Amino acid sequence: MARAIMVQGAGSNVGKSMLVAGLCRHFARAGLRVRPFKPQNMSNNAAVTADGGEIGRAQALQAMAAGVEPVVDMNPVLLKPETETGSQVIVQGRRLATVKARDYAALKPQLLDACLDSFRRIAATCDLVIVEGAGSPAEINLRAGDIANMGFAEAAGVPVILAGDIDRGGVIAQLVGTKAVLAPEDADRITGFLVNKFRGDVSLFDEGTRQIAARTGWAPLGTVPWFDDAHRLPAEDILDIRSAKRDGAFRIAVPRLNRIANFDDLDPLSADPALSVEIVPPGRPLPVCDLVLIPGSKTTIADLDAVRAEDWDIDLAAHRRRGGHVLGICGGYQMLGRSLSDPEGLEGAPRMVPGLGLLDVETVMRPEKHLARVRATDIASGTAVAGYEIHLGETTGPDTARGWLMRDGAPVGAASPDGRVLGCYLHGLFAGDAFRAAFLSRLGAAPSDEPYAAGVEATLDALSEHLARALDMDMILSLARPV
């Protein structure tokens, strides 16, 4: 019978995803069959599973940490924001609906059933399930119908450990305050606490730990020092990617789209010390660089409107005149064409808008989502490429005759006549070391030969060891209960 423990946070961004990844790697290295689980995630940075579904990318990283393939049951509910007030709802890997935030509560009863269904299947395959909460249980205004934190813990019978973030300050208030606002039965589900992201001598917080334990009655599990290599792991939030890293000779500029999605294409580039990757926020022009990479978008037409509002289209035209290279991936590929058409109003009101005109292609949005893992070949170098597609729309036009990737015997993607503007739907392609080196070398870069995937694995090992030095792992395992 599997046991389970849930990591919740005293606030958002306290490091829950990384803590769960480190715990998964630690207990897997100890010989346990471990699985990650997050009942509800909100992210436009999704991963495609082997069975053609989508889950949050953090759960895919946690599965890697556990040494297993990601499956849709690891993240049964994924919310993908499309507007400020509405999100696409993915249930067990498939799109269910797009709903406004105020209407989401009506879906929660059936979503809880799906979460419990997935949780039971995951638990049947392993010795230990490490569950990640979302946001914070202290948001008691969201407790009714909750499926992300205490609502799930109650329904599944899973004990909780609570993590606080000392880097923000006020960690004692975070943890003690959470106990104060929770209903007694929810507070009783918390069996231990930890403090994350401590900079300096952790012994200086010993008295703080004693005070928290005295005021909450929860077991102290340890204080985790700041993990310097966190940036080497795939980022779930675009703000977590190191930007303006100008030590690399080859400069890549990435406009930070409002609804940027599936930007894991940037992780291997950001990790390469020979490259300088700058995430350009709204309000700043695109800098002079070697390559402009336009990433994916959850709402391509709205983000194209924003590109024009920022005058980034003007910057791109100047970059092109200087002989610079441009790569568009997924939504970025669609923006580079002559036009985008949304006849069924999938992204709002039906309309057709002009694209950036750097590729002679047109895109028509269709309701069917393309969702698949993909293997292809880089035609110029013959190197293998692996990644995934996750998009709406079909792209056609003369420049597709110069497809630069080969998939199932047919060229895919598009290129301008001079080859300096490229587009494709394939995400994750830069994770392949041979392709990344070949592609960037063609553009004049001198990429390092550091293997990307091996670096991620080594960082997960280092994270596991980092947590083992800081936390009482035997106590954490003892707190997990059969489910």
- For the record, the structure tokens of 237 come out as 């939030």
| Cα dist from 336 to 52, 330, 353, 364, 439, whole Å | 27, 10, 12, 13, 19
What distance in Å separates the CA atoms of residue 305 and residue 301, rounded to the nearest whole number?
6
* 231: annotated active-site residue: no
What distance in Å separates the CA atoms of residue 13 and residue 237, rounded to the nearest whole number?
10
Burial class (CB in 10 A: 0-12, 13-18, 19+), 418: exposed
What distance in Å separates the CA atoms of residue 366 and residue 394, rounded to the nearest whole number?
7
Q: Which helix (H) or strand (E) holds 275?
A: strand 275-280
Q: How are beta strands 40-42 and 54-56 bridged, if at all?
A: unpaired
| DSSP secondary structure of 43-64 | -S-EEE-TTS-EEEHHHHHHHH
* 427: annotated active-site residue: yes
Q: Which of the following is catalytic: 115, 330, 391, 424?
A: 330
Amino acid at 149: N
Amino acid at 49: T
What distance in Å separates the CA atoms of residue 425 and residue 135, rounded to the nearest whole number?
32
| Cα dist from 113 to 70, 127, 152, whole Å | 21, 22, 10
Cα 120 to chain centroid distance, Å, stands at: 24
Burial class (CB in 10 A: 0-12, 13-18, 19+), 203: exposed
Could you give the residue numbers annotated as active site?
330, 427
